[in-house]
C-alpha cells in the first residue's frame, strides 16, 4: 500500500463519515418531527432506522438520506420542527390533508425540492424566506390554509421550472402577483378564493404554456376587475374559471384556442359574445350567466351552456340570429369604446329607441347620440357614420383617443358635432359648413406627442423614397400654379376696388374703436367731449409683444368673393369710420367691416394687430364674435358673425322705419339679461378686464330668435386687475356717458354699468336717450326717468305704451326700473357691478318665465363653429397653420 492509497482511504473515510453525519442529522430531523406530532404514524418508533418509517423515503444504497416525506391525509396534528431546512436532499414534501398548525418553517436549504404540498392544514404563517432558493420546484400546492394575509414573494421567480401553482383559499391579498408572469413553465395556476384585487397584469400574456387558469371567487371587496383580454394570448388554455369577480369588457377572441371549459359567470362582461368562442371545437362547458352581454344570442351547439333567463333576455333575440341593423351599428360603436359596462346596462335587447342611455330617436331612427361625460375611453368607431339620421353627436368630456373617422363628414343630417375635452389626435376632418363643430381641448396636430400613427407614418415615408420625390414635384408645381393664380387675381382685384369713403348718412359710428390705452396718458384738464358722438383715439401705443391672432388672417380674395367685390347692394350700414358689408363666406353669412382708409391709414399695422389680439381673446355667446381680419395695403377689414335680427335700436325706437313689431316685456328682459351677461364677461370673466365704453342700443345686435349680442366691444383693456381705472381720451356716445367719465376721462367698469342703466331705461320706456324735441331739462332720459319714478301714476304713463302686461310683469318692470336707477347713479361707487345686474335679472326672469334658460351647450357649439369655420377659410388660403391654434374662451 502506497502513501497515495492511504490518502484515498482517508478521503473515503472522511466522506463516509460526513455522509453518516448528514444521515444522522436527517434522522434527528425526523425524530424531532415525531416528537412534535401529537399522533405520529404507528410505525414511527423512538429510535431505529427512519428510512423504514411510513411516509419516509431515503436514497437507496449510497447516502441513505431522506428524499421524500409523504404524510398526506394521515390526520396528523401538531407542529413542524424548524430543523426541516436541514433535509437538504429532500425532493418531495407532502403534508396535505392533516391538521398541522403553527408557523410553517423555513425550507432554506432544500434546494432539491421539486414538490411541496401543504393544503388543508392549519398553518397560520409562512416563513419570510418562503420560496426563496427552490430552483427545482415544479409543483406547489397551498390550498385552504388559514394564513395571515400574504402576497406571493418575488423570490418565486427562482423556481423557474414551476408547472403547477395552486393556492386557492390561502389568504393571498392585494394586487394580482405580477411576478407570476415570469414563470414561463406554468401550466396550471389556481388562485381562487383569495383576496386579490385589481386587474390582470399585461405580462400574463407571456404564460403561453398555461393550460388551466382559475381565478374565480375572489373574496375581497373589489375582487379582480378590468379586462380579460390578456387570456386570449394563452393559446394552450383548456380551462378558464374566472367566475364571481368584477371583470369587465368583452370576451376576447379565442380563435385557435383549445378551450374545453369556460366559466365567466357572475362578472360584468359586456359586448357581443364572439363567434370565435362557439366555433372552438374542443369546447364542452360554458357558463355565461349573470353578465352584461349584448348582441346576438351565441350559437353553442353541442356544448353545455349555463345561461340563465335574465342573461338570455339581454341578447337581441331568444335564439341565435342577427340583430336589428340599428342595434348592430350601435354595438359596433360601443365596441370602439370597449363596450363599457355603463352603456351595457341599458344597451341590450333589440330596441335601442327605448331606454338606451344617450340615444334619442325620432321616427324609429337615432336623432341624438349624446354620450358626453360618460368616462368613455377607446376610439370613435367609423360605424357611427351609419347612423345617418343623427343630428346631434356629442362625445365631449371623455377620454377618447385616436382619430375622428373621416366618414363622419358624410353624415347627411349632422348639425352639431361635439368632441371637446378628449385626447383625440391627428386631424379634425373637414365637416360641411352647416355642421357646428366643437373640438377644443384635444391633441390634434400634436405630432411630437409620440403617437404611434406618426412614427408608423415616418417609417412608411422612409420606405418609399420614390413616392416622396413624386410628391415633392407635385407640391412644387402646385405652389407655382397657385402663386401665379393668386398674383393674377390680385392684379385683377386691385383694379376692381377702391378705398371706401364713408361720407354720407353716418348717424352713428359703426367703426371698430378698440385701442390699447397708454396708461400714462394724463387727462390734463382736457374735459372737452368730442364733437362727434363717437371718437377714436389715435394714440400711438408701443406694442412689442407678439400677437397671437395671426391665424385669423384671411386673404383679401376671400373677402372680395364674399362681398361680391364690395358690392354696394351688400352694404349693411355706414358709419363715421367705415362701411359694413353683408358677406357670404362658404355659405355662412358674415358682416365685413371695411375700415375707412382715411382714418385707418394713420394706424400702423402693428397697432391694428394689437386690437385684433384683444378682440380674439374676448369670446362669449353674448358678444359678437370676430371671425377674422384682413390687411391688404391700406385696407383694414374685420369679419364678424352676421346677426340677422338687426339692432336693438331698430327694435325699440325705429319701428316705423324698420318694420319690426314691438318687443314684448319678456323679450326685452331676455335681451337685457343677454347684454348683462356679455358685459359681465368683458368686465371680469375673461382673463382680463375689458371696458366697452360705447354701450348703446345700436351696438346691441339681435339674432333671428331675438337673442342679443353686444358688438363693438373691447374698447379698452385694463392692464391689470389691481388698477380698475384708467385715464383715456373720452370715446362714447352722448346720453350714455357716465358723468365722471365725460368730465375727467377716467374710465372704469362702472362707465359701462351707467350706459347699461340707460339702455334699461330705453327698453322700459321705448324712448330715445336724447330727445331734442322736449324742453331742455327733459331732453336726457335719465333725468326724466328718475324723476318720474318718484310718482307711480306718472311712471305708469311714462312706460312704453306698446307694452301690455298683468300685475306680475308690472312688478318685474318696477324692479328693473329700480335696477336702472341704481345703474345710473351719479356716483360710480353707488352703481352695482354687472354681476349684480345679471343676478337680479336672471332671478326675475326665472320667476317670470321659468322655462327660459340659456342653453350652454348651444352657445359653446356656435362659438366653436366659428372657429371651425375660420379653420376652413384658413385652409382655403393654403395657409399652413397649427391646426389647434383655435381655442375658445368659454365662461
Ligand atoms: C377555506 O379554507 C378553510 C380552512 O382553512 C375552510 O374551512 C373553508 O371551507 C375553505 N373555503 C373554501 C371556499 O373552500
Ligand atoms: C420578471 O421579468 C421582467 C422582464 O422579463 C423583469 O423586468 C422583472 O424584474 C422580473 N421580475 C422579477 C421579480 O424578477
Ligand atoms: C378578505 O377580504 C374580506 C373582505 O374585504 C375580509 O373580510 C377578509 O377578512 C379578508 N380575508 C383575508 C384572509 O384577508
Ligand atoms: C362539464 O360539465 C359537466 C357537467 O356539468 C361536468 O361533469 C364536467 O366535469 C365539466 N367539465 C369541465 C371540463 O369543466
Ligand atoms: C354600415 O352599414 C353597412 C350596411 O349595413 C355595412 O356594410 C357597413 O359595414 C357599415 N359600416 C360600418 C363602419 O359599420
Ligand atoms: C374634461 O372631462 C373630464 C371628464 O372626462 C371632466 O372631469 C372635466 O371637468 C372636463 N374638463 C372641462 C374643462 O370641462
What CATH number is attached to the domain comprising 671? 1.10.510.10
683 and 602 in a common domain? no
Residue 744 has pLDDT above 90, yes or no: no
Ligand at shortest distance from the CA of 411: 5
From ligand 3's centre to the CA of 195, what distance in Å? 6
Q: Which of 78-87, 503-512, 611-620, 689-698 has the lowest mean pLDDT?
A: 503-512
pTM above threshold 0.85: no
Q: Answer left, alpha or beta for residue 502, where phi above 0 means left and psi between -120 and 50 means alpha.
A: alpha
**d(Cα 340, Cα 182) in Å, to the nearest integer?**
31
d(CA 822, CA 828) in angstroms, rounded, equals 10
Distance of CA 386 from the midpoint of ligand 5 (Å)? 6
Give yes or no: residues 219 and 72 share one domain: yes
668 and 795, same domain (yes or no):
yes
Residue bearing the CA closest to ligand 3, atom 6: 220
Ligand nearest to the CA of 329: 5
Q: pLDDT of 232-275, one tens digit each? A: 999 999 999 999 999 999 999 998 889 999 999 999 999 999 99
What per-residue confidence (pLDDT) applies to 606? 61
In a domain, 9, yes or no: no
Q: How far apart are CA 773 and CA 399, in angstroms?
A: 64
Note the pLDDT tens digit of each residue in 752-763. 999 999 999 999
Q: Domain boundary at 261, 292, 323, which?
A: 292
Instruction: Identify whether 704 is part of a domain.
Output: yes
Give the three cell numbers for residue 513: 374703436
Query: For residues 701 and 241, what is the distance between their CA atoms, to the nearest angstrom?
Result: 67
Together in a domain, 594 and 653:
no
Whether residue 578 contacts residue 511, with contact meaning beta carbons closer than 8 Å, is answered with yes
Any atom of ligand 1 within 6 Å of the Cβ of 193? yes
User: Does any domain span residue 62?
Assistant: yes
* 664 plus 629 within the same structural domain: no
pLDDT of the residue at 716: 54
| Residue with cell string 351552456 | 305
Burial 562-587 (b: 16+ CB within 10 A, else e): bbeebeeebebbbbbbbbbbbbebee
Domain contains 110: yes
More confident residue, 452 or 393: 393
pLDDT at 862 over 80: no
Distance in Å, CA 211 to ligand 4 centroid: 16
For residue 260, which atom of ligand 4 is closest to its CA?
13
Give me the percent of the chain exceeding a pLDDT of 90.
45
Angle at 291 between CA 288 and CA 328, to 5 degrees: 95
For the domain that residue 261 is a member of, what is the CATH number? 3.80.10.10
Q: Which of 125, 195, 197, 221 should be mutated for ligand 3, with most atoms under 8 A from CB?
A: 195
Average pLDDT of 641-666? Answer: 86
Of all helices (H) and strands (E), which one includes residue 165? Answer: strand 164-166
Q: How far is CA 318 from the centre of its chain?
A: 37
Of 259, 292, 325, which one is at a domain's C-terminal end?
292
**Final residue of a structural domain among 273, 292, 311:** 292
Cell triple for 40 = 405520529
CA distance linking residue 260 with residue 113, whole number of Å: 32
Reported confidence tier of residue 653, pLDDT bands at 50, 70, 90: confident
- 536 and 655 in a single domain? The answer is no
Pocket test for ligand 3, best of 143, 170, 219, 246 (most atoms within 8 A of CB): 219
Q: Which residues are annotated as a binding site for ATP?
A: 593
Residue owning the nearest CA to atom 14 of ligand 4: 261
In a domain, 572, yes or no: yes
In terms of pLDDT, which residue wins out, 842 or 407? 407
Least-confidence region, from 139-143, 576-580, 812-816: 576-580
Counting Cβ atoms within 10 Å, is residue 131 exposed (0-12), middle (13-18) or buried (19+)?
Answer: buried
For 825-844, the pLDDT digits (tens) are 988 888 998 888 988 888 88
User: Do both 744 and 821 map to the same domain?
Assistant: yes
d(CA 366, CA 387): 7
Q: Most confidently modeled of 115-124, 590-599, 650-659?
A: 115-124
List the domain range (segments joined by +) for residue 96: 48-292
Closest CA relative to residue 41, chosen from 89, 92, 77: 77
Alpha helices in 295-403 (DSSP H): 309-312, 325-336, 341-344
The answer to whether residue 730 is domain-embedded is: yes
In 766-806, alpha helices (H): 781-789, 792-798
CA dist 136 and 91 (Å) reads 9
Is residue 302 domain-resident? no
Tens digits of per-residue pLDDT, 422-431?
Answer: 999 888 899 9
Is there a single domain that holds both residue 125 and residue 213? yes
Q: State whether 652 and 785 are in the same domain.
A: yes
For ligand 5, whether the C-beta of 382 sits within 6 Å is yes
**Where residue 419 falls among pLDDT bands split at 50, 70, 90?**
very high
**Ligand 5 pocket residue status of 325, Cβ below 6 Å:** yes
Max mean pLDDT among 212-221, 341-350, 766-775 falls in: 212-221
- Assess whether 705 carries a catalytic annotation: no
**Cell numbers for 559:** 373677402
114 domain-assigned: yes
Is 571 in the same domain as 626? yes
* Whole-number pLDDT of residue 304: 86
Please count the residues of the chain: 891
Q: Cα separation of 328 and 333, whole Å?
A: 9
| Alpha carbons 279 and 261: distance in angstroms, whole number | 13
Confidence of residue 632 (pLDDT cuts 50, 70, 90): confident
Interatomic CA distance for residues 722 and 297, integer angstroms: 68
Alpha carbon of 374 to ligand 2 centroid (Å)? 36
Out of 119, 694, 800, 884, the active site residue is 694
CB contact at 8 A, 859 and 621: yes
Q: Distance between CA 199 and CA 242 in Å, rounded?
A: 12
Based on the domain organization, do 150 and 207 belong to the same domain? yes
CB count in 10 Å sphere of residue 779: 16
Looking at the structure of the chain, the number of domains it has is 3
Please say whether the beta carbons of 401 and 360 come within 8 A: no
Looking at the fold, whether 133 and 211 belong to one and the same domain comes out as: yes
pLDDT, mean of residues 72-85: 95
Amino acid at each position: 500500500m502506497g502513501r497515495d492509497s492511504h490518502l484515498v482511504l482517508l478521503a473515503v473515510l472522511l466522506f463516509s463519515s460526513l455522509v453518516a453525519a448528514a444521515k444522522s442529522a436527517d434522522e434527528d430531523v425526523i425524530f424531532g418531527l415525531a416528537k412534535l406530532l401529537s399522533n405520529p404514524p404507528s410505525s414511527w418508533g423512538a429510535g431505529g432506522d427512519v428510512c423504514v418509517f411510513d411516509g419516509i423515503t431515503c436514497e437507496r444504497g449510497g447516502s441513505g438520506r431522506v428524499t421524500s416525506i409523504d404524510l398526506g391525509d394521515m390526520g396528523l396534528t401538531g407542529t413542524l420542527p424548524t430543523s426541516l431546512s436541514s433535509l437538504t436532499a429532500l425532493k418531495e414534501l407532502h403534508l396535505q390533508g392533516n391538521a398541522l398548525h403553527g408557523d410553517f418553517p423555513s425550507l432554506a436549504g432544500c434546494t432539491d425540492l421539486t414538490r411541496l404540498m401543504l393544503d388543508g392544514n392549519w398553518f397560520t404563517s409562512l416563513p419570510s424566506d418562503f420560496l426563496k432558493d427552490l430552483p427545482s420546484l415544479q409543483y406547489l400546492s397551498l390550498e385552504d390554509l388559514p394564513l395571515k394575509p400574504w402576497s406571493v414573494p418575488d423570490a418565486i421567480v427562482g423556481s423557474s421550472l414551476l408547472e403547477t401553482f395552486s393556492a386557492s383559499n390561502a389568504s393571498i391579498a392585494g394586487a394580482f402577483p405580477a411576478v407570476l408572469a415570469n414563470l414561463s413553465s406554468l401550466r396550471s395556476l389556481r388562485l381562487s378564493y383569495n383576496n386579490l384585487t385589481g386587474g390582470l397584469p399585461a405580462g400574463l400574456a407571456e404564460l403561453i404554456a398555461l393550460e388551466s387558469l382559475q381565478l374565480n371567487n375572489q373574496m375581497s371587496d373589489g375582487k379582480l376587475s378590468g379586462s380579460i383580454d390578456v387570456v386570449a394570448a394563452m393559446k394552450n388554455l383548456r380551462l378558464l374559471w374566472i367566475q364571481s369577480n368584477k371583470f369587465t369588457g368583452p370576451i376576447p377572441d379565442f380563435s385557435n384556442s383549445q378551450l374545453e371549459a369556460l366559466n365567466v359567470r357572475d362578472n360584468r362582461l359586456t359586448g357581443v359574445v364572439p363567434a370565435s368562442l362557439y366555433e372552438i371545437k374542443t369546447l364542452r362547458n360554458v357558463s355565461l350567466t349573470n353578465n352584461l352581454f349584448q348582441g346576438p344570442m351565441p350559437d353553442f351547439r353541442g356544448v353545455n351552456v349555463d345561461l340563465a333567463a335574465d342573461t338570455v333576455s339581454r341578447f337581441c333575440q331568444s335564439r341565435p340570429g342577427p340583430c336589428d341593423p340599428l342595434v348592430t351599428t350601435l354595438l359596433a360603436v360601443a365596441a370602439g369604446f370597449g363596450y363599457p359596462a355603463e352603456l351595457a346596462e341599458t344597451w341590450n335587447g333589440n330596441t335601442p329607441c327605448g331606454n338606451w342611455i344617450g340615444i334619442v330617436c325620432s321616427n324609429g331612427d337615432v336623432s341624438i347620440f349624446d354620450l358626453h361625460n360618460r368616462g368613455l375611453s377607446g376610439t370613435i368607431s367609423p360605424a357611427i357614420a351609419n347612423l345617418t339620421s343623427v343630428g346631434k353627436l356629442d362625445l365631449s368630456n371623455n377620454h377618447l383617443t385616436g382619430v375622428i373617422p373621416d366618414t363622419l363628414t358624410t353624415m347627411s343630417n349632422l348639425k352639431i358635432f361635439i368632441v371637446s375635452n378628449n385626447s383625440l389626435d391627428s386631424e379634425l376632418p373637414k365637416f360641411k359648413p352647416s355642421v357646428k363643430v366643437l373640438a377644443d381641448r384635444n391633441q390634434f396636430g400634436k405630432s411630437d406627442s409620440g403617437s404611434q400613427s406618426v412614427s408608423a407614418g415616418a417609417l412608411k415615408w422612409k420606405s418609399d423614397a420614390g413616392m416622396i420625390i413624386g410628391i415633392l414635384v407635385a407640391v412644387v408645381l402646385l405652389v407655382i400654379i397657385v402663386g401665379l393664380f393668386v398674383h393674377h387675381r390680385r392684379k385683377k382685384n386691385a383694379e376692381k376696388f377702391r378705398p371706401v369713403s364713408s361720407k354720407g348718412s353716418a348717424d352713428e359710428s359703426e367703426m371698430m374703436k378698440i385701442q390699447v390705452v397708454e396708461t400714462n396718458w394724463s387727462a390734463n384738464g382736457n374735459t372737452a367731449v368730442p364733437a362727434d358722438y363717437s371718437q377714436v383715439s389715435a394714440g400711438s401705443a408701443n406694442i412689442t409683444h407678439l400677437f397671437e391672432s395671426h391665424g385669423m388672417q384671411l386673404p383679401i380674395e376671400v373677402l372680395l368673393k364674399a362681398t361680391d367685390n364690395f358690392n354696394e347692394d351688400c352694404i349693411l350700414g355706414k358709419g363715421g369710420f367705415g362701411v359694413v358689408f353683408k358677406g357670404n363666406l362658404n355659405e355662412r353669412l358674415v358682416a365685413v367691416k371695411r375700415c375707412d382708409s382715411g382714418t385707418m391709414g394713420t394706424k400702423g399695422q402693428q397697432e391694428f394687430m394689437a386690437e385684433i389680439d384683444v378682440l380674439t381673446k374676448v369670446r362669449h355667446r353674448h358678444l359678437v364674435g370676430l371671425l377674422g381680419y384682413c390687411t391688404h395695403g391700406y385696407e383694414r377689414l374685420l369679419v364678424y358673425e352676421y346677426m340677422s335680427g338687426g339692432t336693438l335700436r331698430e327694435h325699440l325706437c325705429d319701428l316705423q322705419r324698420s318694420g319690426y313689431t314691438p318687443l314684448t316685456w319678456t323679450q326685452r328682459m331676455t335681451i337685457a339679461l343677454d347684454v348683462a351677461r356679455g358685459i359681465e364677461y368683458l368686465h371680469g370673466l375673461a382673463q382680463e378686464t375689458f371696458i366697452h365704453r360705447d354701450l348703446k342700443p345700436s351696438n346691441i345686435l339681435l339674432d333671428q330668435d331675438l337673442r342679443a349680442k353686444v358688438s363693438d366691444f373691447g374698447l379698452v383693456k385694463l392692464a391689470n386687475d389691481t388698477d380698475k381705472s384708467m385715464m383715456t381720451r373720452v370715446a362714447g356716445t352722448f346720453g350714455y356717458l357716465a358723468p365722471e367719465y365725460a368730465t375727467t376721462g377716467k374710465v372704469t367698469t362702472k362707465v359701462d354699468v351707467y350706459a347699461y342703466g340707460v339702455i334699461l331705461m330705453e327698453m322700459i320706456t321705448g324712448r330715445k336717450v336724447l330727445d331734442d324735441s322736449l324742453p331742455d331739462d327733459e331732453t336726457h332720459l335719465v333725468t326724466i326717468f328718475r324723476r318720474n319714478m318718484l310718482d307711480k301714476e306718472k311712471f305708469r304713463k311714462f312706460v312704453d305704451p306698446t307694452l301690455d302686461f298683468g300685475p306680475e310683469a308690472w312688478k318685474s318692470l318696477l324692479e328693473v326700473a329700480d335696477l336702472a336707477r341704481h345703474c345710473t347713479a351719479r356716483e360710480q361707487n353707488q352703481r352695482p357691478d354687472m354681476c349684480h345686474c345679471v343676478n337680479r335679472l336672471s332671478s326675475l326672469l326665472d320667476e317670470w318665465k321659468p322655462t327660459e334658460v340659456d342653453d350652454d351647450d348651444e352657445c359653446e357649439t356656435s362659438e366653436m363653429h366659428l372657429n371651425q369655420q375660420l379653420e376652413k377659410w384658413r385652409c382655403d388660403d393654403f395657409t399652413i397653420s397649427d391646426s389647434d391654434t383655435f381655442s375658445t374662451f368659454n365662461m
